[in-house]
Amino acid sequence: MNVLDAFWHLSNFFLPAWAVAALMAGGAKLLWRRELKALAWRRLTVWGGWGGSAALILALVLLGRDGKMLGYGLMLLGISLPQCILSFRPGR
């Protein structure tokens, strides 16, 4: 595997976490427009993306391979938790 192949392999491994984090942040900003007015879309996306990436790595370590449904469930939890904490914590 050369460097370009490794780059695309890693990019495609982390792409679902970042894409779902961006979609989830956009959806949250649309659904809770007034409540999340002060919170930037980019901040929600970045925190969700990092949480989802960490969850994918954890799933890879625990399950031994990528692409299992439990791993994607952990990814959704890893994305949702930071976004929920940022969005609905008191005293934001």
Model pLDDT, residue 51: 97
pLDDT tens column, 2-37: 999 999 999 999 999 999 999 999 999 999 888 888
**CA pseudo-torsion sign 28, 31, 35, 36:** positive
Model pLDDT, residue 90: 61
Please give the average per-residue pLDDT across 49-74, as a whole number: 93
Model pLDDT, residue 91: 58
Q: What's the rounded Cα separation, in Å, for the pair 32 and 23? A: 14
Model pLDDT, residue 56: 95
> Residue for token digits 């993306």?
49
Every domain of the chain and the residues it spans: 14-88
Nearest CA to 44 out of 87, 77, 78, 14 is that of: 87
Q: What is the pTM of this model?
A: 0.88
Q: What's the rounded Cα separation, in Å, for the pair 42 and 65? A: 30
